[in-house]
Chain A
Amino acid sequence: MTTPAIDVRSVSKQFAGVRALDGVSLELNSGEVHALVGENGAGKSTLIKLITGVYRPDAGEVRYLGEPVAFARPRDAQAAGISTIYQEVNLVPLRSVASNLFLGREPTNRLGLIDYRRMHRAARETLSRYGISVDVRRPLGELGLGVQQMIAVARALSTEARVVIMDEPTSSLEPREVDLLAGVVDTLRRERVAVLYVTHKLDEVFRFCERVTVLRDGRRAHTGPVAGTTRLRLVATMLGRDIDDVREHGATTFTDEHRSVAGEPTLRAVGLSRRPYLDDVTVDVHAGEVVGLAGLLGSGRTETAKAMFGADPVDSGSVSVDGRTRRRWSPAAAIRNGVGMIPEDRKAEGVIAELSVRDNIVLAALPRLTTAGFLSDRRQADLVDTFVKRLRIKVASTDQKVRELSGGNQQKVLLARMLCLHPKVLILDEPTRGVDVGAKAEIQSLIDELAEQGLGVVLISSELEEVVEGADRVLVLRDGAVVATLRGDDVSEERVMRAIAVASDEAAAEPSTTDAPAPEDPHA
């Protein structure tokens, strides 16, 4: 048996009392494409960071090409031949495309000075191998996310890597770009490079990979050849549920029925436009209805949510609640009118880490709890206790700082913050991202319950099954525009993916300048 390229032996890693990995082992062989799957919070990211030297394991060891290694920083892992393509584009947006490709390895002339002409030429050549034709002198940040991701791939593969780790590489890629990536993976396999392919899109597991390892709650739940398993079985293993149960009830704890609701919508967002992110988006939400927004990363889902909530300004369009259009829309106005939102990035825009659980929950309700500028301790405490109980938030005390809570509990704190305002409509952007399986199920049931009680919900999730099973109606977004609306039986993963693909095929038939959004305003 040949030595595996990467041999992870029983590693464990703990963060502030939360066990991210518990005795996980994994073998990655050269020339093999190995899938790593698992729900949010299962430990995939932590495992990658352990291999690449961002973290050190608390227990266990990692062996690279047979030798135990303990990389001090990512730079050392890279130098040793382990290349990583991250889910977030970890490049520097203000620098040019060529700079990003060659940062740290810029070609120099005899004097040791950077030779820009050579660098630009080499950049153009490299990118053309990936089918990308772009002005390499442009700042990277001006390009669409998909192109940025492909450039990140190009950079990661430009070193002589023996191991390539891809973390959710297709999250921002169009179907055409995914085909490109397939070609890249093929090439890597032929060159006997070991590929660790992390994804939650199970179709890709079956399309690209030979072996699969399933992580669940920080432990290895399964490992074996892809040929020996089915999609259903993988899902069941990921969730820790019985396979028949999953077959019957679906992967989420959402009830299966898709309601269709009549009557006047509670919230109407009409013609929302904001160059270059949103293009005439209209969303209606009725009481008791769950409206799903589906689409690739960068398709405008979060921008739509923020525009609906008044967090971002719009060039044109309006939002009305209960039939009355609001002139000046802002988060404060939205909240006053019964609209709440849980943002996508709870760390950056949601929880206030240094404040207590109590302070975080009452944050939006401050105006209602104040008399003459002072807060009533008792009313605060009552409110907080009610919602901590109702949402089953696990805290030692409500004085605890919110950053000490797990991802799932933090998300519940945000939910409590909005729910204690008794909103009519709740916009949820990735409500179960980075949340463990247990809390995820609780949150999903909660959404069902709330909808049943008459709350209108907008649900955004990059996990298709969540959108498909949770929503009554699904709007598919692409490049900031609504390209399809699916109702009733049409709501299925295949239909959604087809809607995205069809739209992009149509666009491909046209001249390409309409593809990526023009990043600059010609009237500026």
Chain B
Amino acid sequence: MTTTPEVIAAPARRRLTIRGRRWRPDRAGAPIVLALVVIGGSLVFGDSFASAQNFGNIALDSSYLLLIAIGMTFVIISGGIDLSVGSLLALAGVLTAYGARWGSVAAIVLPLLVCAAFGLVNGLLIARARIAPFIVTLAALLFARGLAFAVADEGNTVYIIPADLTLTRLGQARWLGLHAPVWLALLAFGVGVLVLNRTRFGQAVFAVGDNQEAAELMGLPVARVRLLVYVASAVLAGIAGVLVAAQTQSGLPTIGEGRELEAIAAVVIGGTLLSGGAGSLSGTLAGVLLLKVIQNLINQVGTLTAYYQQVVSGIFLIVVVLIQSRLARRRLR
């Protein structure tokens, strides 16, 4: 028998390993900055920042964004984008309040079903009719917002959720000091991590965003994957909307404006490539927290108005993405 000649590829450079798992310096950007900012903030502002109360507020604020950002992460990794989540949040909130008259179950099921339907339509138009995700979800943004206003009688009616409903009590509950939305967001995060990293579906999401034609040729169910991520994104936005409604005990069609852009920012800051194919939920978590902590810190300063907060947020987003892309470019070379 002839000896098979060996083909050996150059051994990998020694990388940083933490507990045996690879640690990518560029992806670790957001957690590092987050740590620095939190430490810095605690030093500068002391108790007004670094208190359990304040951290609790930040956590609550972040939970809604995290829910939306989890869905957005899946969508962006698959190579798409979802602009409709802010409007879906509002629509879900209005439907929750609207459905509260029939009890807690209806109040939860109605908005989630409707959001799932939106996600399905989005997914079908994108995956089967092959229309650009930007356009489809832009249209969904308009449609959902219109629908929210229509249900709320053009904003003239504000449906109130009674305080004694199970939904309200659950939504406003606190366990171990953390609000219910925080727990739910963490649960969604855990499930999301599992699905993204440990299931075939998750691997397919990465592959589709990486090289869709190759994924098709490799036999992956590309259309189905692309469709499902939009359903997931819409449902998660719906859950966030239900939670907001439960917390505020009302359904306002005007909320959620700009949340999709915030979610995109969080995802990108967290290291997920906008072009698709690479990313992580832990990065998104760091991105969400970073955005919210920065907002909180700016408030701490007090003398700066909310307007400066916006300026800083905008500049911050740009700077982080610039650093992100610089690091990623170094790595690919």
- Using a CB–CB cutoff of 8 Å, the interface residues on chain A facing chain B are 54, 73-75, 78-79, 84, 86, 90-95, 99, 103-104, 106, 108, 112-114, 130-135, 137-138, 141, 143-144, 146-147, 150, 155, 176-177, 179-180, 183, 275, 508, 512-513, 515-522, 524
Contact present for A104 and B12 (CB under 8 Å): no
CA distance A243 to B6 in the complex (A): 41
Given contacts A93-B211, A180-B5, contact A75 B220 (CB under 8 A): yes
Q: How many residues of chain B are within 8 Å of chain A by beta carbon?
A: 38
Of all chain A residues, the one with the shortest Cβ separation from B212 is A92
Stretch at the interface among B161-169, B199-207, B282-290: B199-207
* Chain B residues, CB < 8 A from A103: 203-204, 207, 215, 218, 220
* Chain B residues, CB < 8 A from A155: 218
Interface SS majority for chain A: loop
* Chain A residues, CB < 8 A from B221: 75
Contact present for A75 and B219 (CB under 8 Å): yes
* Chain A residues, CB < 8 A from B219: 74-75, 78-79, 104
Of all chain A residues, the one with the shortest Cβ separation from B330 is A524
CA distance A508 to B285 in the complex (A): 48
* Chain B residues, CB < 8 A from A141: 332
B22 contacts partner chain A, Cβ-Cβ < 8 Å: yes
Given contacts A75-B219, A90-B218, A114-B203, contact A131 B7 (CB under 8 A): yes
The 8 Å CB contact of B214, one of A90, A112, A513, is: A90
B154 contacts partner chain A, Cβ-Cβ < 8 Å: no
Q: Name, among B7, B207, B213, B217, the residue most crowded by chain A CB atoms within 10 Å (CB to CB).
A: B7
Of all chain A residues, the one with the shortest Cβ separation from B215 is A92
* Chain A residues, CB < 8 A from B333: 275, 520-521, 524
The 8 Å CB contact of B7, one of A79, A93, A150, A522, is: A150
Of all chain B residues, the one with the shortest Cβ separation from A513 is B10
The minimal Cβ–Cβ distance linking B220 to chain A, given in whole angstroms, is 5
A–B complex contacts, Cβ < 8 Å, 6 sampled? A54-B217, A75-B220, A90-B211, A95-B277, A132-B8, A512-B8
Q: A92-B277, A104-B204, A137-B22 are in contact. List 13 more A-B contacts (CB 8 A).
A: A79-B219, A86-B217, A92-B211, A103-B220, A113-B199, A130-B7, A131-B5, A133-B9, A147-B7, A512-B8, A517-B10, A520-B13, A524-B333
CA distance A75 to B225 in the complex (A): 14
Contact present for A112 and B9 (CB under 8 Å): no
Given contacts A95-B207, A104-B220, A106-B203, contact A179 B10 (CB under 8 A): no
The minimal Cβ–Cβ distance linking B331 to chain A, given in whole angstroms, is 8
The minimal Cβ–Cβ distance linking B5 to chain A, given in whole angstroms, is 5
CA distance A299 to B4 in the complex (A): 24
* Chain A residues, CB < 8 A from B10: 512-513, 515-519
* Chain A residues, CB < 8 A from B207: 92, 95, 99, 103
The minimal Cβ–Cβ distance linking B145 to chain A, given in whole angstroms, is 34
* Chain B residues, CB < 8 A from A75: 216, 219-221
